[in-house]
Structures are given as structure tokens and as C-alpha cells.
Structure 1
């Protein structure tokens, strides 16, 4: 069988270290893998119309919205090479009975390490103390009032693979952990609370919930106002989950002691955003889950799941409620 006889797999994500090689090892014997030749909308739509499987774009440049679902009439499976699927219209693809899968948990360790590291940096004042040292000072008095993270109550919004790993690391440090999740998680060793109760009893609030219509603005001005004085917030979810103007106001007036932000309402972050000027904010350009280790795991998971789809085996991590067995062409392959 020649490559022309194989299902066509369109890769929207730009070339990264080892991406094509890993995909090739898993797919070249069963699929015709095509990297997007030019990163412009016309090329994207032309290639999409000829694709049987699509690997999404982790940069967010190319969305798989309702218009793309209408263009990609041959597409039978969509694999997003990340945990977030907010650049994909899940309902539009579900209407066409096309399963959309993500890479749940593949970068959980990487994101969790950043979230806990950001909380440590904020609570222990790493950045301001370092800056004063660089400027020639010896700010020993600034250690007064610092409390060990083990003594701080941690609340996690969203207990998928990333939220669970964050909880495990904080628990290993010794911090009391509680959480809120959209659905019950009875298997977890920490108490579940309502959102208002969680906020009122949390010193370190970590936002790790996917961006969906029901989670947009979930961390509202009222929720931020109910956090105890001196609390900090860490957001590794998506920017629009948090009311960003309300967050800025809470940081400016001191109701929040600090924030660690990997994600923002607008990305890249506007050059004139007040967040860039606040001394109690740790900023990161949406790369918490982009360590070399994490990217390798994401690419591996993507390749393995696409191979399952092409061979007609059950795929993993379907996010839009479509059955996990994929029909390529006239029959299951």
C-alpha cells in the first residue's frame, strides 16, 4: 500500500523539536502525514478539505471552529496536541459525529511544577528580595511576616490531571488542600467545597479548570473579594476564567497579596497592561506546560492516539461526547 492509499493526517501545529520524527515513527506506515505547508488561512482551509484526521494547533493560530467543521467534510478525528480545547468548537464537530480528543495529563507535571513554584515565589517573596539584593541592599528585615507554604491553605479550582498533580505536590509540602470541581471526585483524598466556601478558606487559590462557556468569568470580582486578606492567586487555566479587571483592582488595592499568571485574557499580553507594572505579580508567557519533557510527552500521546484512530481502535481522551471509535472512509480501519 502506498502513502496515497493511506488516510491523510494534517498537522496544524508548527514544527517543533522531534515532532515530525515522532509522528513518523508512529504513523508513516499507516498514514500520509502532512505538515501545513504555509501558515495562512487559505492554505489551512484547502488542506483541511482534503484531510481525514487533523492534529490541531497548540499555538492557537488556527482554530477548528464551526466554519472549519463545515469545510473539513472528510475529517473523522481531531486530536488536539494539548490539554486545552478552547480553540475547537466541540459541539460543531460533535454534530458531525467527529470525536475531538486532547492530551489530558501529558503536561500535568510541567504545569503543576510551575504553579507550585509560582506560589512559592510569591509567598516567600523571592522576586522582591532578589531585586533589592541586586540593587545593593540587604533586606533581611523583609523576611518578617513570611509564612511557610506548609502553613497556607491551598484551594484548587478544577481537579483534572493538572489539578490533581498540583494537589499532590502541595500536600507533600504539608499544605492543607481543598478543591472545587464541576463534577464529583469522590476518589480524591481532599475535601470538596462550594466555590464560595473554598474562596473564604483559601490562602493560595490555584485556577486549573478548562475554559468552557460555563467557566468563563468563574473567578469573579465577588469570588476574589471573598478571599482572605493576604491571599495569592495562581492561574494556569485560561485567562478568561478569571475576571482580569477585577484581579488587577484587587492587586492594586492590596486585597490580594500577589498573583502568578501563566495565562491572560488577551495573548500576547498587551504592552500597556497594568499587570506588567505591578510588583506583586509574577508573569509567564503561557509556557508553564512547555518544558522539553512535557512537549515530548504531548507529541508521544498525540502520535499514539492518532495511530489508534487510523487503525480503528478506541481512542483516548475524547472531550465532546462522541463515541471513541473512528470510521475512516467506508469502514473501521
Structure 2
């Protein structure tokens, strides 16, 4: 390795050939490294010489305060996803390390999952599938459980970033009445803005598409879940930490809520004894709402472009912690 070669540490648990493709376009300007072991010791050892880190989308190799302290040369962190809850933004910002995400790269995929999950809940698709596979033919039972058409529903979207905007567009195209909440209302939006608790109380379907932060953790606690309309549906494509899962399970058990579709959980995988795993009115998904071929191609393209920009001294895009987008080696 020459003195001018950038060391790019890739943390995602992917095939090494795929990871090398992230730096191959740079030729000898960058060298790919991976941790020898997927634990804190392996991570810290690998960070010692890293100039650039491509974060772990699973969260298993988190860039916490201790990891940041173990990375004296670190100049840039690129997350291969929208969420940045797998890094300590405060520690990285204090260390002067810009952090970028791939905002918008999988927005369409996640928004389509939210719409598809709403369809599945409204028409009892997963429940009916399980019954038919078991040998039943529950035509009358499906209707008795309650079936609805999306155009007749009020959709409330919590969070109006790229995913929220796309979801609003798709639900609106289906004829639904769509409203949204975000901390800063948008001047131009296809949906109407409502204060959060008013949105919760008025919506037949709540779609969570807001980032997980210190301010939004537990946003849907027992009190807010209790404000939801009777038999309302909750669709979470954001982060599990937004929702009190025990309160959600209790609301489903009591019949206060009509169902939930969850692509994310507070702990992933969801614990084997989680009541949500066994609930007939819950659609479960293993954090794959954004996992389409199109979205993955877009994410990889954004990661490659940003790593290349960092190495070439050009501004990177998507910096989320307010630091200079021109990356400088240490």
C-alpha cells in the first residue's frame, strides 16, 4: 500500500467480492479492508488504520463512542442506508468526522411496502393464506374479520422525508385521504399537515416513516397508541424503537387496534417469545421493506459515488451531521 492509498473499511456482512466492487473503480487509490472478526475487538483493531468506514446496515458492528475512540485516522463514515442509529453521531461530530447516508435511495421500495402491507391488512391476506394452507376455506370468516378498501380510508403518515413523501403520493393515487405530521411542515406537499395527536386520532391507518432519534424513541407509547381510532392499523417501516411493543400487543389483544404491519422491531430479530410473533392480526417482515433489486442498486451506486468523491477530494452528498462535505485525511 502506498502512502497515498486510502484504507476503506467495509463493515456490512456481505461477500468480499461484492464489497471490493465498492472500491474497484478507484484503482490503486483505495484499498478495501474488513474486520478479521465480527465483534468489538475485531472492529476496533480494523478501525486503527481506517480512513473511510462503510457502516454495517445490520447494526451488529456499531460505531459507538468506544469505536470512534479506536479510529484516530477516521475521516469519513458512509452508511449504506437512510438510518444512522447504528453510529454515535455525537461522538463522530465531536471527532470532526462527516457521516453520510443514502437518503432517498430506497424510498420508493419502502413506500411500496407500506402500501402493500396496508393492502394485506385491509384484506386479511396473510391470515387467509395461513388458513387456506391449513386446509380451511374461510370465505365468511374473512368478511367477518373486517375487510376494507384503501380509497375509503384516512391515511396518516408520521414523518415526511423521502419515504413519507413517496408513501403519500402512492396512497393519494389510490384515492385515499392522506395527511402527515413532521416537525417542520412542508410548504408544498400532496398531503395535508396535522399536529401529531390530531393526526393519530383521525387516521384509519398510521404509517411510521420518521427517523429514530432521542426525541422520537418511544413516540408511539401506550398513551399515543390509545389515541388511535378504534380498529385502526399501524404500519411501521421506520425503526422498532419508535413503538412500545408491549403496548401495541396489548392494544391488539384488546381489539382496540385492528392490526399492525411491522418490518422493524425494537430488537432484531424479534425475540422468539414476542407476543407479536403469534398475533393473528400482525403482519411480520424481517426488515426488508427497502430490499428490492432497484433499491439495492441505487444504494450501492450512492455508496460508490460518495467513497469516490471522498478519495478525490470532491464534496460528498448526504452528510447528516452538519460537517464539511469535503473529506480531508488525518
Q: Per the shorter chain, which TM-score range?
A: over 0.9
Match of 1:143 in 2: 143
User: Structure 1 CA distance, aligned partners of 2:17 and 2:7?
Assistant: 20
Where 1:74 maps in the other structure, the secondary structure is: coil
Q: Is the 8 A contact 1:27 1:33 kept in 2?
A: no
The answer to whether residue 260 in structure 2 is matched with residue 259 in structure 1 is: yes
Give the structure 2 partner of residue 160 of structure 1. Answer: 161
Partner of 1:33, secondary structure, is strand
SS of 1:146's equivalent?
coil
Aligned twin of 2:97:
98
Normalising to structure 1: TM-score of the pair? 0.93
Name the CA distance, whole Å, in 2 between partners of 1:183 and 1:20: 37
- Give the secondary-structure state (helix, strand or coil) at the position aligned to 1:178: strand
8 Å contact from structure 1 (residues 260, 283) kept in 2: yes
Superposition pairs of residues 22-37 of structure 1, within 5 angstroms: 22-37=21-36
Q: TM-score, normalised by structure 2?
A: 0.94
Q: Alignment RMSD, CA only?
A: 1.7
Q: Give the 3-state SS of the residue equivalent to 1:290 in structure 2.
A: coil
Corresponding residue of 1:315: 316
The match for 1:122 is 121
Q: How does 1:54-203 map to 2 (within 5 A)?
A: 54-141=53-140, 142-143=142-143, 145-203=146-204
196 and 18 in structure 1: CA distance in 2 versus 1, 3 angstrom threshold: farther
What displacement does 1:25 show? 3.6
Structure 1, unpaired ranges of 5+: none
CA distance in 2 between partners of 1:318 and 1:287 (Å) = 24
Q: Distance in 2 between matches of 1:283 and 1:222?
A: 23
* Equivalent in the alignment of 1:280: 281
Task: State the 1:41 CA deviation.
Answer: 2.3
* Aligned residue pairs, count: 328
Q: How many Å apart are 1:87 and its aligned residue?
A: 1.1
**Which range moves more in the overlay, 11-20 or 63-72?**
11-20
Give the structure 1 partner of residue 12 of structure 2. 13
How much has 1:59 moved relative to structure 2?
A: 1.4
The residue that corresponds to 1:220 in the other structure is 221
1:130 Cα deviation after fit: 2.5
CA–CA separation in structure 2 for the residues paired with 1:16 and 1:207: 32
- In 2, Cα distance between the equivalents of 1:27 and 1:193? 47
Cα shift at 1:236: 1.0
**Distance of 1:137 and 1:245 partners within structure 2:** 31
Note closer, same or farther for the CA distance 1:17–1:53 as it changes in structure 2 (3 Å cut): closer
Please tell me whether the aligned partners of residues 26 and 304 of structure 1 are also in contact (alpha carbons under 8 angstroms): no
Answer yes or no: is the 8 Å Cα contact 1:3–1:31 preserved in 2.
no
Q: Does structure 2 retain, via aligned residues, the 8 Å contact 1:10–1:47? A: yes
* Unmatched segments (≥5 aa) in structure 2: none
Per-residue CA distance 1:251-302 (angstroms, 9 max, x = gap): 1100000000011111111111111111000011112112233222211111
Secondary structure, aligned partner of 1:257: strand
What CA distance in whole angstroms lies between the structure 2 residues aligned with 1:188 and 1:25?
Answer: 40
Distance 1:277 1:83, change over 3 A: same
Offset of residue 227 of structure 1: 1.2
Q: 1:118 to 1:17 in 2, by over 3 A?
A: farther
Distance 1:289 1:9 in 2: 25
SS in structure 2 at match of 1:23: coil
Structure 1 stretches of at least 4 aligned residues deviating more than 6 Å after TM superposition = none
Q: Once the 2 structures are TM-superposed, how far is the Cα of residue 103 of structure 1 from its aligned partner? A: 0.7
Aligned to 1:43: 42
The 1-side partners of 2:47 and 2:193 are apart by: 43
Tell me, yes or no, if the aligned pair for 1:52 and 1:328 is still in contact at 8 Å: yes
Given the superposition, is the C-alpha separation of residues 90 and 278 from structure 1 closer, same or farther in structure 2, using an over 3 Å criterion? same
Query: SS in structure 2 opposite 1:5?
Result: coil
- Residue by residue over 1:174-194, the C-alpha shift from the partner in whole angstroms, topping out at 9 and shown as x without a partner, is 111111112232221211111
Q: Secondary structure at the match of 2:219?
A: coil
| SS at 1:177 equivalent | strand
Shift of 1:17: 8.7
